[in-house]
Structure 1
């Protein structure tokens, strides 16, 4: 799998169960539906990330109240439930990479860094839900690993719109990430 660029588009947590149960997460779906095919057409690696926990709970520490709550909230994040599947409108293709994460960051305990380095990726465009969770966690990890990061602002959402705005306007730029709209990112292709 080789792209024509050193860029990857990361699409985080656009899962059937999340979109069905958390209305805020539906807002960036149309944006991603335009970004993903455009990225593919330009040879940009598409990485679809999902959160999935083992049904037994063996990967959930009692010390982690957030993931304990996720695990105990029914099958929403349980592997094999179907609720962790990527939404059909963004269904992975053979040339895409699907990463299964068990924590907030798409890098934590996954092969994401290995895949990106193997493909000589230096820049990531980051989208997903929620801004204050998956997007922020992945962004911090990416920057610590020396990737250049662009956050596609309208390709992200948070249950709290003011949290989304704060990260986009203040936190992400202060950490060295570029923040731009999907239209601007597509124009740079």
Structure 2
């Protein structure tokens, strides 16, 4: 049986795209959302699993969590900030995994869900390339997933940092760096090849 693939959508949340001076907005959000939308739509057509990994904090954690000391309050449950951006709203059958750390795997059920679904390959999209995306990729590497980072489907407030993070993930964590067109071509082949 061929390995299954999933598309991870990391932290494309309203709270990160609201022009809050404490949270730098990733470069060209409209382009990013359109690219990830295209990747998700093509993946759905080929039967890939879609997983939204989301920063998600309880109101009572605001004064205590280290995240807030760095970034200020964000993605608090019960506020619009914790929701996926409207352009990428999850659909029935998609998975949503709440996280409290940069990595989508740290302290979450992401690995258990992917293993239950027999997912072996991850196509990673999201924000920010050097933070939550990179930490998720690092943990995926140590959990023995095949990793494909969609280079135009991830973003950072700083282009040089974005490029460095992509090179780092490729060199040290065996991430295959693909454009959205290259990724779609891979999972648009028959399932045995994706």
Aligned counterpart, 1:9: 7
Aligned counterpart, 1:68: 69
Query: Contact between 2:3 and 2:121, CA under 8 Å: does it hold in 1?
Result: no
Q: Does 1:57 align with 2:55?
A: no
Aligned counterpart, 1:128: 126
- TM-score for both structures, normalised by structure 2: 0.86
Q: Which of 161, 164, 182 does residue 162 from structure 2 map onto?
A: 164
- Once residues 156 and 162 of structure 2 are traced to their aligned partners in structure 1, the CA distance between those partners, rounded to angstroms, is 6
Query: Contact between 2:50 and 2:94, CA under 8 Å: does it hold in 1?
Result: yes
Aligned counterpart, 1:23: 25
Aligned counterpart, 1:93: 91
Query: Contact between 2:44 and 2:50, CA under 8 Å: does it hold in 1?
Result: yes
- Once residues 185 and 150 of structure 2 are traced to their aligned partners in structure 1, the CA distance between those partners, rounded to angstroms, is 13
Question: Shift of the alpha carbon at 1:143?
Answer: 0.4
Question: Shift of the alpha carbon at 1:99?
Answer: 0.7
Question: Shift of the alpha carbon at 1:127?
Answer: 0.7
Aligned counterpart, 2:75: 77
- TM-score for both structures, normalised by structure 1: 0.88
Q: Pairwise mapping of residues 104-143 of structure 1 onto structure 2 (< 5 A)?
A: 104-143=102-141
Aligned counterpart, 2:191: none
Question: Shift of the alpha carbon at 1:68?
Answer: 2.7
Runs of 4+ in 1 over 6 A off after TM superposition: none
Aligned counterpart, 2:52: 48
Secondary structure, counterpart of 1:53 in structure 2:
coil
Query: Contact between 2:17 and 2:25, CA under 8 Å: does it hold in 1?
Result: yes
Secondary structure, counterpart of 1:94 in structure 2:
coil
Structure 1: segments with no counterpart, 5+ residues: none
Secondary structure, counterpart of 2:96 in structure 1:
strand
Query: Contact between 1:16 and 1:82, CA under 8 Å: does it hold in 2?
Result: yes
**CA separation of 1:180/1:44 partners in 2, compared to 1, >3 Å: closer, same or farther?**
same
- Once residues 82 and 23 of structure 1 are traced to their aligned partners in structure 2, the CA distance between those partners, rounded to angstroms, is 16
Aligned counterpart, 1:178: 176
